[in-house]
Structure 1
C-alpha cells in the first residue's frame, strides 16, 4: 500500500497493490493493522453498486472517517474541506480505479460520479451510520467542480443541498 498526502490536510490517496491472476485480479482492500496506522478503526463496511455511468452522490461530510475504494469500475471523486478554518471550501478531485483508495477524515465532504457502468464502491467507516451530516450543493459555482460527464443523475435530496455561502452563514 502506497500512501500519498493530498492538498487537503488529512485526505490521503492510497495506491493498493492489484495482483493479476489467470482469472482477473486480487487486492487486499481491508487490512486492520494498515488502516489502524492511518488512524482508522473500521466498524462498518458499506458497498454500493451503480448500474450506469453518470450517477452522482454528495457532497456529504459525516462525523466519521471514510476509506473509499471501487472494487469494479471507475469513479470521479470531489473532496471539499468543510472543517472550520483557513482550508474551508478547498476542493480536490481524483479519479479512482480498482487499485486506488482515499482516506477522508470526518467533516471533510466527499462526492463521486460513476465513470463506467457496473461500478461497485466500498465505504469503510470508523463509526456506525447516523443521519448527522453536513451537505453542500454539487453544482455550487464557488466550488467550480468540473464534473467529467454532461449527463448526470442525482437524488432530489442532493439537489437541495445548500451552497457553500449558505453553509458559511449558518456557521457564523
Structure 2
C-alpha cells in the first residue's frame, strides 16, 4: 500500500496571481506529517512554474502582533507552522487592480502565494510560527524598492480581528503612508 502524502488545492483570488492553497496533512497514532512546500505538487495545483525558492525564513510572534503592509520586488510563498493569523494582502502594483484587498485566515492547512508587488500583512490570532519562502535573496538595497501602506488605512477596509489600537505594531508600521500617498510598485516586464 502506498504511503499517504500531502495534497495541495489552489484557489484564485480577486488579486491577479495571488493564490491560496489548502494543504492536507497525514495523521496517525504517532502524530502528523505535512509537506509545507513541494514544487511539483504545487505547480500541478497552480503555482507559477518559475517560482524557485532561494531563501526560507521563520518568524515567531505572539497573539496580537500585527505586521505589514509591505510589497517586495519578489514572489513569496507563506505558510503557518502553528497557530492562526489573519492575513491581509493588497495589490500595490501599478494597474487596474491597485488597492484591491484580499483577506485570508492563515492556519497550518492554508498557504498563500504572493506575486511580487502584492503587499503582505498579518495579525496573530494566536501565538504563531510563520514560514515564508522567496525566489530572490533579501539584500539591504532591496528595501529601497519596497512599497509600504499603513495598516490602519480606512480606504483598504481591512477587518482586523484585534483592533489596531490594542494590537502590537512596530513604529515603522504605524508610520507608513496611506494608499492614496503610496508609491505603486513598477515591476519589470516578463
- TM more than 0.5: yes
Paired residues, number: 169
Q: CA deviation at 1:146?
A: 1.0
Partner of 2:3: none
Any residues of structure 2 matched to 1:1-172 within 5 Å, and which?
1-35=8-42, 38-39=47-48, 40-50=51-61, 52-117=62-127, 119-130=128-139, 131=143, 132-150=145-163, 151-167=166-182
Name the larger-Rg structure.
2
Which 10-residue stretch deviates more, 52-61 or 24-33? 24-33
1:107-163 deviation per Cα after TM superposition (whole angstroms, max 9, x unaligned): 00010001102x100011001013231100000011111101132001011111011
Q: Compared with structure 1, are the counterparts of its residues 169 and 57 closer, same or farther at alpha carbon in structure 2 (3 Å cutoff)? A: closer
Unaligned runs of 5+ in 2: 1-7
Q: CA–CA distance in 1 between the matches of 2:167 and 2:52? A: 34
Which 10-residue stretch deviates more, 28-37 or 85-94? 28-37
Which 10-residue stretch deviates more, 17-26 or 59-68? 17-26
Aligned-partner SS, 1:148: coil
Q: CA deviation at 1:78?
A: 0.4
Paired residues of 1:77 and 1:94 also in contact (CA < 8 A): yes
Q: CA–CA distance in 1 between the matches of 2:114 and 2:36? A: 16
Normalising by structure 1, we get a TM-score of: 0.92
Question: What is the Cα-based RMSD across aligned positions, in Å?
Answer: 1.8
Normalising by structure 2, we get a TM-score of: 0.84
Runs of 4+ in 1 over 6 A off after TM superposition: none
Q: Compared with structure 1, are the counterparts of its residues 84 and 170 closer, same or farther at alpha carbon in structure 2 (3 Å cutoff)? A: closer
Paired residues of 1:35 and 1:41 also in contact (CA < 8 A): no
Q: CA–CA distance in 1 between the matches of 2:26 and 2:101? A: 32
Q: CA deviation at 1:169?
A: 8.9
